Amino acid sequence: MSLSQILPLSTCPGLSLTALAPMQDVTDLHFMSVLAHYGCPDYFFTEYFRVHPSSTLNKKILRSITENTTGRPVFAQLIGESIPDLVRIARELSHYPVAGIDLNLGCPAPRVYRKNVGGGLLRDPEQVKRILSELREAVAGRLTVKMRLGFDNTDHFDRLLDLINLCDINLLSLHGRTVKEKYHSAVHYDLIAHAVQRVRCPVLANGNVTSATSALSILEMTGAAGVMIGRAAIRNPWIFQQIRQALNGQPVSGVPLSAVHDYIERLRQTQTASMVPERARVSHMKMYLNFIAQSVDVAGAFLREMRQARTETELLAVCARHLLSNPETEFALEPYPGLVARPTCETPQDCCA
């Protein structure tokens, strides 16, 4: 897909953009394909390509670009600090049908930022300037950035925003928390609104976009060009379709639990599932179910029983019991209060938007 065929990255009356946030171990080709069945976002972003002196293009991540049949543009995300290697990988990716190159300046996982990449780079605006300047020189197409407000405070925030302008960045996806705040604090939508006023490029508001209702409220508060959604899209793959309905003044479609069961089955049916040990399959499904379960029942019985399941048979039985016993019961559009997702591995918790 050529850049001229991509939806313009500009604000237009009545147009609000949606994007699926890049999430490690989640936003692969399979998840994008499953999501497309329920209503695509306007843009996809890949898991990050790790960039270092010996790095090559990750073939699994590359498939989400080269084999993508969703009909939506896909941005390739990079994470790293070695400027020659970031330039090298960006140029290699430019030979593939990418919508643009995205730089990760926001990952809050300690094992990531301690290497001075992702959110760790926000401590050093001068290094950010060097990286963005070199990438801008090397990337002929769109260059975009996903970042947070700062590392442990917002002292450098305006300086970072000015770098977005200086380096002619085409799109800024802004998570309204610092790296150290991870996902625990309130989202600072006022600072996203400040960024919207300060930078020349469109801004996608990211952080606690949990439903169509919250998306419209966040768009009104921030004036952003659109929203980027991460973990809420794992819980509710209908969210992008529902946002479009709300923006058009239409009723937001409800989702019966039987449809949620269908969604779980689609997640489970990967091409490689039969080659993966059962324990790993169960753990992988629990990664998704930790989020989905937040909207199944207010008491959290599904969440508890799902976590206790040890075999695939037990896990599927829990799903059938809670989702098919009363299949027309509606799935909650917002997570039930008090039901907290605790993924089975560090990455989705720490690197999901």
Residues contacting 183, CB < 8 A, separation 6+: 108, 177, 349
Q: Give the model's pLDDT for residue 347.
A: 46
Q: Give the model's pLDDT for residue 57.
A: 98
User: Percentages helix, strand, coil for the chain, rounded to the nearest 5?
Assistant: 45, 15, 40
Q: Give the model's pLDDT for residue 16.
A: 85
Q: Give the model's pLDDT for residue 341.
A: 80
Which stretch of DSSP H or E encloses residue 76?
A: strand 74-79
User: What is the residue-wise DSSP string for 52-75?
Assistant: STT----HHHHHHHHT--SSS-EE
Q: Give the model's pLDDT for residue 276.
A: 87
Which stretch of DSSP H or E encloses residue 90?
A: helix 83-93
From the list 40, 107, 167, 352, the catalytic residue is: 107
- What whole-number distance in Å separates Cα of residue 300 and Cα of residue 304? 6
319 as an active site residue: the answer is: no
Q: Give the model's pLDDT for residue 351.
A: 52
Q: Give the model's pLDDT for residue 235.
A: 98
> Which residues on neighbouring strands pair with residue 77, listed in sequence order?
48, 102
Q: Give the model's pLDDT for residue 14.
A: 53
The residues of the chain scoring below 50 in pLDDT are: 1-5, 11-13, 343-349
Backbone phi, then psi, for 208, in 5-degree steps? 60, 35
Per the CB < 8 A criterion, the answer to whether 38 and 238 are in contact is: yes
